[in-house]
Amino acid sequence: MAARILLVRHGQTEWSRTGQHTGRTDVPLLAEGRRGAELLGARLQGPPWDGLPDVEVRTSPLARARETCALAGFGERAEDWDALLEWDYGAYEGLTSPQIAERAGPDWLIWRDGVEGGERIADVTARVDTVVEWARSADRDVLVFAHGHVLRALGARWLGFGLDFGARVQLDPASLSILGWSYGAPAVERWNDTGHLG
């Protein structure tokens, strides 16, 4: 099994700044997002990671994740993987949570209620389970560049919880998270670490 799976959320975009659900729309990084990716890359070049010379790298094919990966210094080593695409938000694409709540009801929660005309919770679960299975079968650390909701879902599934656990964990742009093992059980080593941005 992999010693660790390192998760990187893409850098800041206009829609992540405004809280708009950004699924499959290819929104570019802001200058701030590009800078965050570069700072993350510089951090991963230093100890204790030392450039992660043996890590296997995969990225969402969407530009904001792919560019974050490249700016962090891992673009040439990365393989695009559709399993890392963001949740398909369907009719809720580009809307904020308050705007969606106006349509779906005030207690709407994506992790419980899903989306209208987009990807079902069961489908997102199956997709991230594929990523978990791949990471656990690897013989070395793996590094993935992806998106807020899909990475929160991945964290939930790594720990053995349902997708609704994703509602309980925040994930900021250009953050680093590490999932590993403790006493033989899946564990969180680091979550939503943005120390390199300070």
Active site amino acids: 10, 86
Q: What angle do CA 117, 121, 125 make, to 5 degrees?
A: 135
Q: State the pairing for strand pair 78-80/185-193.
A: unpaired
How far lies 140's CA from each of 5, 134, 185, in Å? Answer: 9, 11, 17
- Classify residue 43 by its DSSP letter: H
Structure tokens at 61: 């094919």
- Segments in 58-180 forming alpha helices (H): 63-71, 97-104, 110-113, 121-137, 148-158
Provide the 8-state DSSP code for 59. E
